Amino acid sequence: MRTETIQGKRIEYSDAIGFGKTVIDVHKGLKSKDIHTVKNTLLVTATYNPNQANNTFKEKLDITTWLPSASKEYKTSPDISDYIFVPVFTIPSDLPNRNSVAFPLQALTEYSVSAGRLGYKTFKGKPCHLEHDNQDPTKAYGVIADCSLRRLNGFGGGKVWKLMELLAIDRSKHPGIANKILRREYNSYSMGAMVSRYTCSICNANITARSTCGHVGPPGTLDFKEFSSNLAYKKVWGVDGIETSIVATPAFSTATSDWLMTF
């Protein structure tokens, strides 16, 4: 189990799924007019997963306004036509992942004063890496072009939401990886976020390395214990996205499946 800290805050990782059938080659999209540019706005229409309802997005992206500046930091191309877009389902709200950690909807929609935006929006503009090799931003394979929260229909009584990210992978910097994504040889991803604190899903007690409640262990431990038919796990708060990575082998089944299961 991966455990890291930045400036005293822990990093949590969670596996994700990319919908390889809807990877968008921006260069071809611009030529075929499937992608339109209006002033400084990129108009993109695509489907995250054609086999499920409510997975179509029609986005107005402002990436062309900030990509040239971001590319200087990430050592990526400033030209949007050098990229492919990959829609990725990164986090279901309120459901614990394989690390027995859940991202509550309330945490994803909390306002971050330091970032000046809602928690889930802190992923926008952050880099894309390979296998969480994220210490050096100049090694970025691309950038997170945009993100959104959408209700997960037909599951959890409408109370579960999903964080969707639109990754922009620079095919001019890493053509081999980009072509593998286009061929769907790579279709697994994993997001990373800093979190400021943890609480217990059973009693809502604050959980630290020195203070636990008896239901869950300290941060970095696996829980998944049952108490009176309720599952114990840790909830995270103070979410600040740092990156999303391309990964060759997912660590758990949800990362390669279009389905979510509960128990």
Domain that holds residue 153: 4-251
Determine, yes or no, domain membership for 259. Answer: no
What is the pLDDT at residue 136?
Answer: 96
What is the pLDDT at residue 257?
Answer: 35
Q: Report the number of distinct structural domains present in the chain.
A: 1
What is the pLDDT at residue 12?
Answer: 76
What is the pLDDT at residue 19?
Answer: 52
Q: Residue 161 has which token pair?
A: 């939401």
What is the pLDDT at residue 245?
Answer: 93
Residue 113's Cβ-count burial label (10 Å; 0-12, 13-18, 19+) is exposed
| Backbone dihedral angles phi then psi of residue 95, each to the nearest 5 degrees | -105, 130
Determine, yes or no, domain membership for 229. Answer: yes
Determine, yes or no, domain membership for 262. Answer: no
Residue type, 101: V
Say which residue the tokens 């210490």 belong to: 135
Determine, yes or no, domain membership for 261. Answer: no
Q: How far apart are CA 221 and CA 90, in angstroms?
A: 22
Say which residue the tokens 């409640």 belong to: 213
What is the pLDDT at residue 89?
Answer: 85
What is the pLDDT at residue 5?
Answer: 57
Determine, yes or no, domain membership for 142. Answer: yes
What is the pLDDT at residue 151?
Answer: 86
Tens place of pLDDT per residue across the chain (263 aa): 455 655 567 777 766 655 545 677 676 766 666 665 766 677 676 555 545 555 555 667 889 999 999 999 999 999 999 999 888 888 889 999 888 899 999 999 999 998 899 999 999 999 999 999 999 999 999 999 999 898 887 666 778 898 989 899 999 999 999 999 888 888 889 999 999 999 999 999 999 989 999 999 999 888 888 898 899 999 999 999 999 999 876 544 443 433 333 32
Determine, yes or no, domain membership for 188. Answer: yes
Q: How far apart are CA 228 and CA 196, in angstroms?
A: 29
